[in-house]
Amino acid sequence: MSTNGFIRVSAACPVTNVADIDFNLKNIKECIDTCVEQGSKLVVFPELCITSYTCADLFEQKLLLDNSLEAVHDLCNFSKDKDILIAIGAPLIYNYCLYNCAYIIFDGKILGIVPKSYIPNYTEFYEKRWFTEGIGIVNKKVNLFFQENIPFGTNLIFTSGIFRFGFEVCEDLWVTIPPSSCLSLMGANIIGNLSASNEIVSKADYRKDLVKSQSARCISSYIYASSGVFESSTDLVFSGDLLIGENGVLLNNNDRFQRENEVISSIVDVTRLNSQRLKNVSFRDSVKLIPYEALEISFKFNSIDYKTFDRYLDKHPFVPSDETQREIRCKEIFNIQTAALAKRITHTGLKKAIVGISGGLDSTLALLVIVKTFDMLDIPRENIITVTMPGFGTTDRTYNNAVNLCKNLSAELREINIVPACLQHFKDINHPVEKHDVTYENVQARERTQILMDISNKEGGLLIGTGDLSELALGWATYNGDHMSMYGVNCSIPKTLVRYLVKYVAQKEVSEEVSDILMDILDTPVSPELLPKDEEGNIAQKTEDIVGPYELHDFFLYHFVRQSETPEKILFLAKNAFRDDYDEETIKKWLDTFIRRFFTQQFKRSAIPDGPKVGTVSLSPRGDWRMPSDASYRLWQ
C-alpha cells in the first residue's frame, strides 16, 4: 500500500507511580493500544517510564532493576502482532555499569537498546550518582534472560523501507552536538527522544525551540516525550510535555500537566524530508564528520496505513494563514523588493524609472515598490514615469484605476494608445484584425514593451518589470514582450501573495485616497486585457478561465519545485487541501495544465532579467532553477 511517504507517529505520557512497575506497565499498555487504534507506527515514551524517572537511590536496588527487565519482557510479549515500533525507557546493567536506555521493541522482540549518551550532573540533576554515560558505545551486544545478542549502542538505526528511526535520551538534545545530528547524517529521518524534563519558568518554550531547531538542522521529524506530573515532586515538577516536529515546524503538541494517560500523534512526510536532504549540499557535506558507522537493524511493518489523513495542509503555502504573521511577511518582502531596487538604481546611477501601468495587481505592486524606493533614496516622485497604454481590451475600470493611482502617487503619467500602432502592424504582417488569436494578443504585448523600452532609452531610466512568479511558472507572458524588462521586482512573488502585498500597502503605507484605489484594484478580475471587452464594457478575457485558478497553480508550484513532489502526490495533497473547493477532475485538469506549461515554457524563464529572490521558491536561471528548455514532461503526466 502506497502512502506517498506519510507515516503516523506518536508521543505518549502514561500515568506513573514512582517505582510502581506493574502500575506503570498497565498504563503504558493502554497508551500503546490507543496508538495502534489511531494507526501510529511509532510511539515514543518518556525516559525511564517503566520505573519512573525520579527513583533516585532506588536505582541501586536489585529488586527494582530485576522487575524492570521483567516488565520489558512482558511488554515484548504484549507487542506481538501490534505492528508498531515502541521506544520505552528503562535502566540496563551492562559490564557492572547502569545505563539509562531506550529499548526499541517490535513484534515481540527487542530490536536494539540505545543508551543515553550524556548524563546531566549540574543544577537540579545528579544522574551520574547512578548512571554511566553511553557516549562512544557502538556495536555492542547485550544478553538478557529472555533474549540474546541484542544490539547495544548509540549508532543504531531501525529501518523499515524509507522509514529510518533513530533515538536519543533527554539531555542528548541539549548538548552542543546531539547524537541525533549524527544519526540523521547516517540516514535516520525520524528521531525519537525519551525525556524527563522538569518545569521551571520559560523552560517549555526553550524545549519547543530545541525540538523545532533540531528537526530543521537534521531535516527530520522529531518526536519528544517527557515524564508527567506523577513523578516525585520532592524538588522538581514534571509536566508530560509532548512535541512532534518536522523540519523546523511543530506539527503537534499537548497541553501540559495532564493527569490522565495522554497520546498525541501526527502524520509526518518522509519523502519530503528525503528530497530536502538531496537538495541540501551542506547536509551531504556534513556526512564526512560522522564519527562512526551506523548499525542498521531492519524490520518490516505489515502495513503503513495511517488511518484518517489529518495532517494539516496549507492551501496557500506562500501566504501565512495567521494575520499577524502575514503582515510581518508582507512588510519583510516589501522591504526586500525596495532594497533590491535601490541597489540597482544606485549602481546604475540612473535617477528615473519607467513602468507600464495597467490597473492590474502586478503593475500596481511594481509601482508601489518604485515609489517607496524613490522616497528612500530622496529621488523626486516626478522621476517615476508611468505609462498607461490602452488597447483593444482595456476597460474603463482598469484605465481609471491606473490613471488615478499614478496621479495620487505624484508620479508622471503618460498615456499612449497602442491601437493605431497595432492596426498598422497587423497590416504590415498581413494579419486580419478580426482574428483574435495568439498573434493578435502578442502584437499588443510587444508593442507596449517596445514603447516602454524606448522611453527608458530616451529618458535615461530603468524599465521595471511587473511579471510575477506564477506567470513565470506557467509561461503566461509574451516572449520579448511583457516577459522582458531591465529589472523585475515581482519575479519571485506568487500571484496569491501579490494580492496580500498590495493589501498590506493599502492598509499600512499609503493615504486613504490611494488605499481606496488599491482596494478596487484588488477587487478587479485578473486579466491581460488583450481581447476586446464585452458588450457591457467589462473584462472579457479572464486569465484564470484560461490557465486555471492561481491558488491551485501556486499550490502545484510550491510542492513541485520546493518539495520535489511527484504529480501523484501533488494530486493527493491538492485533493485533501481543496476538498471543499474543487472536485478531483478539476484539480487533475489544472495539474496537467501546470505540468505541460511549466515544462514547455522554460525557454522564457531561461531569458528573464535580474530580480530579487524573496522566498524559498525562485525560478531564476542563474540561481534556484536550472532546467533544460527541451526537457520532456511525459514522465510527469
248 is in an annotated binding site: no
As given in the structure block, the three cell numbers for residue 456 are: 527608458
d(CA 225, CA 444): 63
361 is in an annotated binding site: yes
Which of the following is catalytic: 13, 35, 170, 182? 170
d(CA 101, CA 368): 60
590 is in an annotated binding site: no
466 is in an annotated binding site: yes
220 is in an annotated binding site: no
358 is in an annotated binding site: yes
As given in the structure block, the three cell numbers for residue 128 are: 551520574
456 is in an annotated binding site: no
DSSP codes joined into one string, 438-463: HHHHHHHHHHHHHHHHHHHHHHT-EE
122 is in an annotated binding site: yes
196 is in an annotated binding site: no
488 is in an annotated binding site: no
DSSP codes joined into one string, 538-607: -----HHHHT--HHHHHHHHIIIIIS---HHHHHHHHHHHTTTT--HHHHHHHHHHHHHHHHHTHHHHTT
In the block, cell 495539474 appears at: 591
479 is in an annotated binding site: yes
Between the CA of residue 37 and those of 31, 40, 54, 254, what are the distances in Å? 10, 8, 31, 19
**Does residue 47 have an active-site annotation?**
yes
As given in the structure block, the three cell numbers for residue 95 are: 559490564
d(CA 481, CA 479): 5
In the block, cell 515481540 appears at: 108
Residue 217: which H helix or E strand, with range? helix 203-217
625 is in an annotated binding site: no
362 is in an annotated binding site: yes
Which of the following is catalytic: 41, 116, 352, 495? 116
For 236, the 3-state DSSP assignment is coil
Query: What is the layout of strands, in order, in the sheet containing 156-160?
Result: 249-253, 242-246, 221-226, 190-195, 163-169, 156-160, 295-298
Residue 6: which H helix or E strand, with range? strand 6-13
203 is in an annotated binding site: yes
Between the CA of residue 242 and those of 43, 193, 219, 273, 410, what are the distances in Å? 11, 10, 20, 21, 56
As given in the structure block, the three cell numbers for residue 197 are: 524534563
In the block, cell 515502541 appears at: 86
113 CB-side CA count, 13 A = 28
In the block, cell 552536538 appears at: 177
Between the CA of residue 21 and those of 27, 65, 67, 194, 604, what are the distances in Å? 10, 10, 7, 18, 68
**Does residue 170 have an active-site annotation?**
yes
Which of the following is catalytic: 13, 31, 35, 47? 47
112 is in an annotated binding site: no
For 53, the 3-state DSSP assignment is helix
**Does residue 55 have an active-site annotation?**
no
Which residue numbers belong to the known binding site for ATP? Answer: 356-363, 466
Which residue numbers belong to the known binding site for L-glutamine? Answer: 122, 197, 203
Which residue numbers belong to the known binding site? Answer: 122, 197, 203, 356-363, 442, 466, 471, 476-479, 604
Which residues are catalytic, by number?
47, 116, 170
